[in-house]
Structure 1
Amino acid sequence: MLLKKEFVFDAAHNLIHYKGKCEKLHGHTYRMVVIIEGIPDHEGMVIDFCEVSSLVKERVISRLDHAYINDIIPQPSAENIAVWVWKEIEGFLRRPNCHLEAVEIWETATSGVVVRKEDINA
């Protein structure tokens, strides 16, 4: 079973190792989806949505929302942001009945990236 929780945050960045318009300072309203795979426990839940929300808000949203992401993540492409998010939350979501399956980061309504465990260890 896959459980999904979606978040939105606003932030600015620029891609200093890129030639094109994204090398200039600009911002996005990012959409982030955390996907957890698991088996429902004795309460009938893979994991409590409220617990996922609290964890992600504390570990990720509080740091990235209305921030200049370059101060936190070097070369903050959508790919690098997704890897950073994975590393910030994966250990907290590893349970006997579930684990983090994927992190999606959307920079626009039509452009996003999905990161999975095999992408982190590659």
Structure 2
Amino acid sequence: MSTIRITKQFNFETGHALYGYDGKCKNVHGHSYKLSVTVSGEPIQDNTNVKFGMVIDFGDLKKIVNEEIVDLFDHATVFNKNTPHIELAKELKDRGHHVILVDYQPTSEMMVIDFAEKIKTRLPKNIKLHSIKLQETDTSFAEWFASENS
């Protein structure tokens, strides 16, 4: 049987600031992120299975990624909780804003590492996370590949 890769794409809006950065991104700003999640596996061969011929139902993959990433990060502001941005985060939370505090600098590079870990734990055993691409602008993106991170 052949191993097949399938990809599902997602969009979400997220704000962030990079504490200690020496450029404009030290300021709070946002991106219209495009996330591509690619998984691999063998299509189901059991013709009595309602998912016959699928590696994973796109709807099942969508549910995982939405629950772990999109629903949490969409229209949120992300800060590294190990910096003085914690004070800004508290002020925003007190004013009713959706704030996420993470253990890392919220760059696209670090976000794809975080997202990969979250997605991997939710996939069925026979499905492997192949790659993630997080695009923050039309010309800038970060990628994570399982083959380089095993």
Report the TM-score, using the length of structure 2 for normalisation: 0.75
Q: How does 1:24-39 map to 2 (within 5 A)?
A: 24-39=27-42
Please give the alpha-carbon distance, in whole angstroms, between the structure 2 residues aligned to 1:119 and 1:80: 15
Considering Cα pairs closer than 8 Å and 6+ residues apart, tell me whether 1 or 2 has the greater RCO.
1
Large movers: runs of 4+ above 4 Å: 118-121
1:99 aligned residue: 128
Q: Does the 8 Å contact 2:130/2:147 carry over to 1?
A: no
Unaligned regions of 5+ residues in structure 1, if any? Answer: none
Greater C-alpha radius of gyration: 2
RMSD value over aligned CA atoms? 1.4
Q: How does 1:40-79 map to 2 (within 5 A)?
A: 40-42=43-45, 43-70=52-79, 71-73=100-102, 74-79=104-109
Please identify which structure carries the higher helix content.
1
Unaligned regions of 5+ residues in structure 2, if any? Answer: 46-51, 80-99
Q: Does the 8 Å contact 1:94/1:100 carry over to 2?
A: no
What amino acid sits opposite 1:52 in the alignment?
L
Aligned length: 120
Residue aligned with 2:22, SS: coil
What amino acid sits opposite 1:39 in the alignment?
E
Report the TM-score, using the length of structure 1 for normalisation: 0.91
Do the aligned partners of residues 9 and 47 (structure 1) sit closer, same or farther apart at CA in structure 2, a change above 3 Å counting? Answer: same
What amino acid sits opposite 1:109 in the alignment?
D
